[in-house]
Amino acid sequence: MTERLLVPLTPDASAARARTWGWWYYAEHFLLQMRRYGSVIVVSAIGEPLIYLLAMGLGLAAVIDGGQSTVDGVSYIVFLAPALLASSALMTAATEFTYPVMGGFKWQRVYFGPQAGPMQPWQIAAGQVAAVALRFLAQSVLFYVVMLFFGVAPSPWAWLQIISAVLGGLAVGLPLMAYASSITQDKGQFALVQRFIIMPLFLFSGTFYPLTNLPVALQWIGWISPQWHAAQLGRIASYGMQEPWTLTVLRVLYLVALAVLGWWLVWRQFTLRLGWIQGTPDRDARVVTPRAGWKRTRGAGRRREGTEPEPATRPQGRISEPIPPMPQITVRTGPFAGMYAGNIRAVLERGFLALKTNNWAVFASGFVEPVLYLLSMGIGLGAMIGAVEGPAGPMSYPAFIAPALLAVSAMNGAIYDSTWNVFFKMRHSKIYRIMLNTSMGPMDVALGEIGMALFRGAVYSTGFLAIMAVMGHLTSPWALLMLPAAVLIAFAFASVGMAITSYMTKFQQMDWIMVVLMPMFLFSATFFPLSVYPEQIQWVIQALPLWHGVELLRQLSVGVFTAGTLVHVLYFVVMVIGGMAFASARLKALFLR
């Protein structure tokens, strides 16, 4: 070091600043982190409202009572927009208050950096909350601008919904953050939170239809859902929805109460996990009565100073069976030598073993999401939409969307396995590198992993079919063909998904997959027939794979076969072959250079 830079602050001044502004220093850090994936944030902040308003606002409006009717005295899109604005904060809360918390405490341990500095534990939490609240704000403002552009926010007070949306996001986010900060072991809890808390809160909260469309058995979810209250507040601001003022006040109080309670829990969790509550005796020293099967063994039963030297011959003493001679390891020759060793089984075995040690609930509940959609949209929207024109004439709305949702769930399951899981194994746990260090080839790995994705897809599809049967939407025996068809769809998405994932190097890039999937889902004729779109858009939709899946399953569900059926099947066969070739070539390029 040439010259010595003098620190402009004494340690005491530094501590005093941190006592006041520490929370903001961590907010700065969190905002800087967000800037890393800023492009995804901006694209989805503008793109999501655009796509939702176009797809749902215009598409659904066209099928609701023939496009004539109004909801709550205003056009459907005016009714829908404020709730969508509120839900975008909800969805952001579900990611920003979960995974980064886990990263802070466990994965990257980012919180332990500031912990060693002069700030206090709760300030780290406060910084993250402040930064995410800023994101809510920016996102809501962008959404609001899009609404103005569409002319769907008539009231002069409509901007107030920006505030109610931020409040709604905090009312969900802070309790969620408290939960996330109490987790010490990652067992896929966030996937369960997403499926069993966030999705129901979103889907049964009168976003797409008035909450009263639902039977009381489902309506209560809306009553407790911050999303419903935030959406209703938004509607009051946006188009002057009528309701008693006491109810409005209650909604605000409810959201504030949730946020305050959540913050108190967050404060406590962070303080206890990164420090301690001053003036209390050391919590670590408390003797906990050991639960069955769980015991703190550190230091217990430890021998020292040569009291019992370890016998050098111990390992041999433990093996009771004689070891048979090692069989010859065969190496394939021929056209695919080096690519394929005929050992997919080993990859599958590992996959099932990993499933066994993972959280089974996470795996088994994978088909919950489409079921929730089916319940919410089928019942809630079905109340406003009469019959829809299907492949074999008019059909009820739930029966119309059920096969489409099965296609969507087959796609989602396959994509999840072949993108997130594959990404993790490729970049983080390096499982593929280990596998390819053995006699296995890249084709074995690709096929094995895709096999796992198919297994998952088949399990989910079976679960969903069972629910459809229970709800009485399985009317034709041909409908059973939907199972193999769903597996074919999963196969196609899994193989292409894996190939694309091989290009990803950072977690944030994975968000782009969502940016692509979301519009494909909304523009896939899942919730309304293709005919509601102008012709040019119809062509685009027909080129996309999900539409083929939706149409294929919809045809099978009523047992109608046309030339189109064959085209749909062929589309996926081509996807499978192309994706497989691509994926194994990529694996080879990545690991066998």
Partner 1 sequence: MHTPSVHLSSTARPAGQTPVISARGLTKRYGDFEAVRGIDFEVPPGEAFGLLGPNGAGKSTTMRMIGGVSQRTAGELRIMGLDPETHGPEVRARLGVVPQQDNLDEELTVRDNLMVYGRYFGLPRSYLRPKAQQLLEFAQLTEKADAQVEGLSGGMKRRLVIARSLVNEPQVLLLDEPTTGLDPQARHILWDRLFRLKEQGTTLILTTHYMDEAEQLCDRLIVVDQGQIMAEGSPAQLIREHSSREVVELRFGTERNAQVAAELEALRGSERLPASLVDRVEPLPDRVLLYTPSGEDVLTAVSALGHHPITSLVRRSSLEDVFLTLTGRSLID
Q: Which residues of this chain interact with partner 1, rule CB under 8 A?
A: 1, 5, 7-9, 11-15, 17-19, 21-22, 25-26, 28-29, 32-33, 36, 108-120, 274-276, 278, 281-288, 296, 298-300, 302-306, 308-310, 312, 506, 508
In the complex, least distance from residue 78 CB atom to partner 1, rounded to whole angstroms: 40
Taking the complex as a whole, the smallest distance from the CB of residue 430 to partner 1 amounts, in Å, to 14
229 token code pair: 């209250």
* Token digits of residue 401: 């969307």
Q: Which is nearer to partner 1, 30 or 523 (CB)?
A: 30
Among 414, 409, 411, 390, smallest CA distance to 556 is for 390
- C-alpha 15/C-alpha 117 separation (Å) is 9
- Using H for helix, E for strand and C for coil, what is the string for 482-500? HHHHHHHHHHHHHHHHHHH
- Cα maximum dimension of the chain: 89
Of the pair 127, 351, the CB lying nearest partner 1 is at 127
Find the shortest distance in angstroms from Cβ 299 to partner 1.
Answer: 5
- The smaller minimum CB distance to partner 1, of residues 314 and 356, is found at 314
Distance in Å, CB of 135 to partner 1, minimum:
16
Task: Name 294's Cβ contacts closer than 8 Å, sequence gap at least 6.
Answer: none
Q: In the complex, what is the shortest distance from the CB of residue 30 to partner 1, in angstroms, rounded to a whole number?
A: 10
Residues in the chain: 593
Of the candidates 573, 449, 437, 541, the one whose C-alpha atom is nearest the C-alpha of residue 501 is 449
| Closer CB to partner 1, 25 or 196, in the complex | 25
**Smallest distance from the beta carbon of 5 to partner 1, in angstroms?**
5
Contact in structure between 144 and 163 (CB atoms under 8 Å)? no
When the beta carbons of 3 and 535 are compared against partner 1, the nearer one is: 3
Report, in Å, the least distance between residue 184 CB and partner 1: 14
Q: Of the candidates 181, 193, 188, 191, which has an alpha carbon nearest to the alpha carbon of residue 102?
A: 181
Q: Parallel, antiparallel, or unpaired for β 393-396 and 387-390? A: antiparallel
CB of 226 to partner 1, least distance (A): 29
CA distance 424 to 201: 29
The residue (of 29 and 268) whose beta carbon lies closer to partner 1 is 29
Given the complex with partner 1, which of 282 and 321 has the nearer CB atom? 282
Best CA proximity match to 447, nearest among 270, 583, 329, 320: 583
Smallest Cα–Cα separation from 76: which of 50, 52, 99, 56? Answer: 56
**Between 107 and 264, CB nearer to partner 1:** 107
Cβ pair 139, 156 in contact under 8 A:
no
By beta-carbon proximity to partner 1, the closer residue of 154 and 275 is: 275
- Closest distance of CB 92 from partner 1, Å: 18
Q: What does 496-523 look like in DSSP terms, one character per residue?
A: HHHHHHTT--SHHHHHHHHHHHHHHHHT
Compare residues 110 and 142 and give the one whose CB is closer to partner 1: 110
Least separation in angstroms between CB 302 and partner 1: 7
Q: Identify which of residues 1 and 216 has a Cβ nearer to partner 1 in the complex.
A: 1
Compute CA distances 524 → 43, 336, 381, 387, 478, whole Å.
20, 38, 17, 19, 23
Phi, psi of 387, rounded to the nearest 5 degrees: -95, 150
Closest CB to partner 1 among residues 150, 276: 276
DSSP states along 75-129: -HHHHHHHHHHHHHHHHHHHHHTTHHHHIIIIIS-TTHHHHHSSS-HHHHHHHHH
User: At closest approach, how far in Å is the CB of 114 from partner 1?
Assistant: 5
Q: Between 28 and 72, whose beta carbon lies closer to partner 1?
A: 28
Write down the least CB distance from residue 515 to partner 1, Å. Answer: 19
Handedness of CA 59, 63, 69, 70 (dihedral sign): negative
The answer to whether the CB of 23 falls within 8 A of the CB of 121 is no
| Backbone φ and ψ of 295, nearest 5° | -150, 140
In the complex, the smallest distance separating the C-beta of residue 142 from partner 1, rounded to whole angstroms, is: 23
CA dist 548 and 438 (Å) reads 39
